[in-house]
């Protein structure tokens, strides 16, 4: 049995959760131990012998615990990254560098702009053709050493909202791609009864671009699919209905494809667009300027020192703190790159013409008829 972590809105719900889980496990002959909460009132309802040993209720001191490779400081209610710096030998071979990367576990993708740099370096090692235990080029070794020397020691707030009454929660997913990487970042936006707004990073996902050449519009579409799957996972966990999900991309091509009929595009685009359209409404996908896109950070990489102070990464773009009337708007048109993905049979017709197809009785005409309307 592994560790388990959960979040509830108040201490009463936390106490009830403890009681129900204890009864459930007891019915199966199991006994849960090492309970910990960031609220002392909850811990007071749990036998001291079943709490984490470092808990001191008299002093109000709560310990730092490790779950799934991430440290949780219960007093401050923060996630903490603290990794021991590997030796210089972890930069000399592909196997050693991968071992160094594995010392940092970031399941929620808080550090994606930093981690993507290591993924790109490892891909460059693969391209160089060296075996697992062969020495890599000096330039790659220096890049690896520089990345490892920045292994983070920082804290990330866990809670996504304040204790104020929440009026509306929306999920915003930003997608982007470059020649080296693509990915998405998801934020929760909380509008409170008093009119205030908070926005926080929930999770992100980054991937390196394939070794074979792929156009930027296609990479942007791949990023959109990653964003869709990330939003689906986060939305289901946070119990947010799909109509409260919004997606942002700076690619006009992708937004044009999503608003079109998937069957008229070439298979690569058609399959991705079909998946997007099956789970979301095209109107949920909006355009935004590249300079305001936080997902741009995870496609080009950042150092830890820069990432710590990057407000747009942790809290999303500034416009999310405004009313919806102040959000970016742009009409999605047709670009040359978007038209290159249209199947040949659809390109034969002029955009200024429309057509209607109908089927006649084969006994009288023996074929399908097509009526072209100018």
pLDDT in tens, 11-67: 999 999 999 999 998 999 998 888 888 888 898 899 988 888 776 656 666 778 877
Report helix angle 112-128 to 138-148, nearest 10.
Answer: 160
Burial of 288-306, coded b for 16+ CB within 10 Å and e otherwise, reads beeebbbbbbbbebbebee
pLDDT band at 337 (very low <50, low <70, confident <90, very high): low
Q: Say yes or no to pLDDT of 122 above 70.
A: yes
Pick the range with the lowest mean pLDDT from 249-263, 290-304, 332-346.
332-346
Q: How many CB atoms lie within 10 A of CB 266?
A: 13
Note the pTM of the prediction, 2 decimals: 0.85
Q: How many CB atoms lie within 10 A of CB 14?
A: 21
> Is the distance from CB of 113 to CB of 152 less than 8 angstroms?
no
State how far the alpha carbon of 354 is from the alpha carbons of 253, 260, 332, 348, 374, in Å: 22, 15, 20, 12, 7
Please tell me the distance from the alpha carbon of residue 194 to that of residue 96, in angstroms, as a whole number.
53
pLDDT in tens, 153-194: 788 888 888 777 889 999 999 999 999 999 999 999 999 999
> Is the distance from CB of 144 to CB of 97 less than 8 angstroms?
yes
Give the gyration radius of the chain's Cα atoms: 26
Output the furthest CA–CA distance in the chain (Å, rounded): 93
pLDDT band at 214 (very low <50, low <70, confident <90, very high): very high
């Amino acid at each position: 049995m592994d560790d388990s972590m959960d979040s509830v809105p108040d201490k009463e719900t936390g106490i009830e959760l403890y009681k129900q889980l204890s009864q459930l496990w007891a019915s199966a002959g199991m006994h849960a131990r090492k309970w910990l909460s960031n609220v002392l009132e909850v811990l007071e309802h749990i036998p001291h012998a079943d709490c984490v040993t470092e808990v001191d209720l008299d002093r109000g001191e709560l310990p730092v615990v490790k779950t799934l490779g991430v440290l949780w400081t219960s007093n401050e209610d923060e996630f903490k990254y603290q990794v021991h710096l590997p030796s210089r030998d972890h930069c000399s071979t592909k196997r050693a560098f991968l071992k160094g990367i594995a010392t940092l576990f970031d399941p929620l993708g808080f550090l994606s702009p930093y981690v993507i740099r290591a993924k790109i370096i490892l891909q460059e090692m693969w391209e160089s053709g060296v075996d697992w235990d062969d020495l890599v080029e000096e330039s790659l070794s220096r890049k690896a050493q520089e990345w490892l020397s920045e292994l983070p020691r920082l804290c990330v707030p866990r809670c996504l909202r304040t204790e104020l009454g929440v009026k509306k929660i929306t999920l915003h997913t930003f997608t982007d791609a470059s020649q080296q990487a693509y990915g998405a970042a998801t934020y929760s936006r909380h509008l409170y009864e008093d009119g205030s707004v908070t926005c926080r990073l929930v999770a992100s996902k980054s991937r390196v671009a394939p070794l074979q050449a792929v156009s930027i519009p296609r990479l942007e579409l791949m990023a959109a699919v990653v964003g869709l799957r990330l939003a689906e996972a986060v939305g289901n966990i946070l119990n947010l209905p799909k109509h409260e999900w919004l997606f942002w991309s700076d690619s006009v091509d992708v937004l044009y494809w999503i608003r079109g009929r998937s069957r008229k595009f070439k298979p690569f685009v058609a399959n991705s667009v079909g998946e997007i359209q099956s789970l979301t409404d095209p109107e949920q996908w909006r355009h935004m300027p590249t300079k305001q896109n936080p997902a741009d950070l995870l496609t080009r990489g950042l150092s830890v020192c820069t990432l710590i102070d990057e407000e747009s990464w942790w809290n999303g773009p500034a416009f999310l703190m405004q009313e919806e009337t102040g959000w970016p708007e742009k009409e999605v048109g047709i670009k040359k790159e978007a038209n290159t993905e249209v199947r040949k049979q659809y390109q034969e017709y002029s955009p200024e013409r429309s057509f209607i197809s109908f089927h006649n009785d084969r006994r009288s005409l023996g074929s399908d008829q097509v009526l072209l309307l100018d």
